[in-house]
Amino acid sequence: MIYAPPDLHISRSPYARVDALGENFWRLEIASDPRPAYRLAQLDDHTQLARSDFHWKPPLTLSLQARVSSQDLPGTWGFGFWNDPFSFLLGGDRKHLRFPTLPDAAWFFHASPQNYLSFRDDLPACGFLAATFSSQKVPPALLALASPALSLTLLRQTAQIVRRVLRSKVNQAAASIELDVTEWHTYSLKWENGLVIYRRDEIELLRTDVVPHSPLSLVIWIDNQFAALPPAGRLSYGTLPNPESAWMEVRQIKLLDHR
């Protein structure tokens, strides 16, 4: 059965907007601003749910068409499935408080060069990626207690210890995607039990047995954040100025449940 995404929730910061341009056709935009204040425009179907009540499990296929306003936007943008691992830190208008957890995700993800979003040294860590995260289960309360220790990653020596620990707990797969993202393209993500397949315009980009744990939620976003934990360095994170407005348009969002 084919679903249009159910009850998509709009999340946006000041100086950001999400507009419906037609049926199943959206524009997500963050305004131009030289100041590096946080800006986010997002569609999701998880904001009012407990993490255990997220909708999506395999076997499932997501497909949509997307384009963005520039080839090299500051921050991140993308679409796919995730477990919203950091909502404890971000806050917002959530009905349920979620403790932090390690990431589980399968998505198309663009990260500007200021980012370094891989715990492994042999995988791409920024640019436009097809990427999967699959994490070992750690009790959320334990992670909540450990969250203050993240400040230690601001020190170079300690950051590398934390990075090695995360690499042992978080399995990853990723492939770089080279194309003009300002043009319309069709993206699909087939999430099966034991397999995830990424395609662009019917061309297979990545096939991996690194599979996220379910249930996950659908997320589509654009923001101006960056985070980096490189192989030789300390943690850096923050927001980036965007001198020009940045937008992403998505249309023909479809979810095919194979059960």
Phi, psi (rounded to 5 degrees) for 32: -70, 140
The closest alpha carbon to 82, from 63, 103, 98, 102, belongs to: 103
Torsion angle, alpha carbons of 59, 130, 32, 234, to 10: 120
CA distance 206 to 199: 7
Q: Say how far apart CA 229 and CA 154 lie, in whole Å.
A: 9
Q: Whose structure tokens read 């960056």? A: 226
CA distance 225 to 188: 25
Count the Cβ atoms, other than its own, within 10 Å of residue 30.
27
Rounded to two decimals, the pTM is 0.91
Question: Can you give the pLDDT at residue 92?
Answer: 45
Contact in structure between 32 and 244 (CB atoms under 8 Å) = yes
Render each residue's pLDDT in the chain as its tens digit; 259 residues.
Answer: 777 777 889 999 999 999 999 999 999 999 998 777 899 999 999 877 888 899 999 999 999 999 999 999 999 999 999 999 876 444 444 455 667 788 999 999 999 999 999 989 999 999 999 999 999 876 555 454 445 455 445 455 677 777 788 888 899 999 999 999 999 999 999 999 999 999 999 999 999 999 999 999 999 999 999 999 888 878 888 999 988 999 999 999 999 988 7
Instruction: Count other C-beta atoms under 10 Å from residue 128's C-beta.
Output: 22
Rounded-to-integer distance, Cα 79 and Cα 163, Å: 25
Strand-pair partners of 91: none
Cβ distance 63 to 186 under 8 Å? Answer: yes
Which residues fall within 8 angstroms of residue 157, CB to CB, at 6 or more apart? none
Tell me how crowded residue 147 is: count the other CB atoms within 10 A of its CB: 13
Q: 3-state SS of the chain: helix, strand, coil percent to 5? A: 15, 45, 40
Residue from 31, 55, 26 nearest 42 by CA: 26
